[in-house]
Amino acid sequence: MTSASPGRLHGQDSPRRQNWAGKSPQQVLDMYPPGRTPVNRVVDVLIELFNPLHTALEKTVSHKTRYERAHFLRRFFRELHTDAGFKLAPDPRNLGQRHVQAMVKVWQRRKLSPGTIQTYLSFLRGLAMWLNKPGFIRRPEHRFLP
């Protein structure tokens, strides 16, 4: 069984959009300019482009991982506004350390376990890799997490 696009399962995942054909992920993202594209739309585009792929290996990830990562990223950007006190959630391409630090404080106030916070930071590390910002999300020890 051959896949129409890398990371997509024939008959299970929808094919890549026709207007994205022949374009690199960066060219696809350029079709959604920051400031003029709703944040949730950009998050959905990033998920559609990269979510099936493993962040470190040349392979796809399980459907459970895809679901959890997509669910987390959508919730993360929504909660930056609703829980972390930002007037507007930033475009994912403009995510800054202050946004991540604010959400870590929210998670700590909620008394989430260090393991859960580390999983969340791992999902954000994957997002940073998708955006060609390796090293953007610091290790948990940097945030005084065990």
Closest CA to 48 of 81, 10, 6, 89: 6
Q: Look up residue 91 and give its DSSP letter.
A: P
Domain-embedded: residue 68:
yes
pTM of the model: 0.83
Q: For residues 113 and 60, what is the distance between their CA atoms, to the nearest angstrom?
A: 28
Residue 144 to residues 90, 101, 108, Cα–Cα distance (Å)? 25, 11, 11
Cβ contacts of residue 116 below 8 Å, gap of 6+? 107
Range of the domain at 64: 24-143
Higher per-residue pLDDT: 67 or 12: 67
Q: Residue 2: its pLDDT value, please? A: 45
Tokens of 36: 């003029």
The H-assigned helical ranges of 1-146 are 25-30, 39-50, 63-82, 97-109, 114-130
Q: Residue 10 falls within a domain, yes or no?
A: no
Structural domains of the chain, count: 1
pLDDT digits 0-9 by tens, 88-110: 999 999 999 999 999 999 999 99
| pLDDT score of 138 | 79
Q: Which two tokens stand for residue 95?
A: 């995510």
Q: Provide the pLDDT for residue 91.
A: 95
User: Tokens 């350029």, residue?
Assistant: 30
Asked if residue 16 belongs to a domain, the reply is no
Position 63 scores a pLDDT of 94
In this prediction, residue 14 has a pLDDT band, given cuts at 50, 70 and 90, of low
**17 lies in a domain?**
no
